[in-house]
Structure 1
Amino acid sequence: MAISNEDIFKLVNILPEETKQSAYDYLKFLTISHPRPDWDEIEQMEPDAIPLSKEEAWQLKNRDEFVSWEDAMHELDLPPDIKP
């Protein structure tokens, strides 16, 4: 499924301010040249000096929790008409 840049820009434009750093970090990670490190390799990397945000700390504590598309949309306060 191809996602247009316009769809991505729409999501970025409506992100709550407190989630923009996480979104930026993830998008930056996705641009790393292949092969990207897998989760086991990431876990072995040295941590950076930037402290975790409240959201990141929560994510680490809840790493096994599945979040549905609908729950994620609600949590981020995004409009429900955006499709996965």
Structure 2
Amino acid sequence: MVARKEDLYKLIDHLNEGDQKTAYDFLRYLIDRSENNKGWDEINKLEPDSEPLSNDELRQLKASTEFVSGEDAKREFGLQIDLP
């Protein structure tokens, strides 16, 4: 379904001020997400690098307290989005 811009404007006009901020933030997120995905297509075409991990990167990988999986963060913070 394609929404007409005029219909979106009317819906936004009916929102209270606090919800307008939420609508703005969500629209900004949608725009940023679509713009950022274009870059990932280019990145996915690149050959993987062969540079070894630094000592710092190895330490971070081994430390269980410094890493939170997307699923754990989603559950802990009650997030409604899918995290990579």
Regarding TM over 0.5, the answer is no
Pick the structure with greater CA Rg.
Answer: 2
Q: Which has the higher helix share?
A: 2
Which TM-score tier does this pair reach, normalised by the shorter chain?
0.3 to 0.5
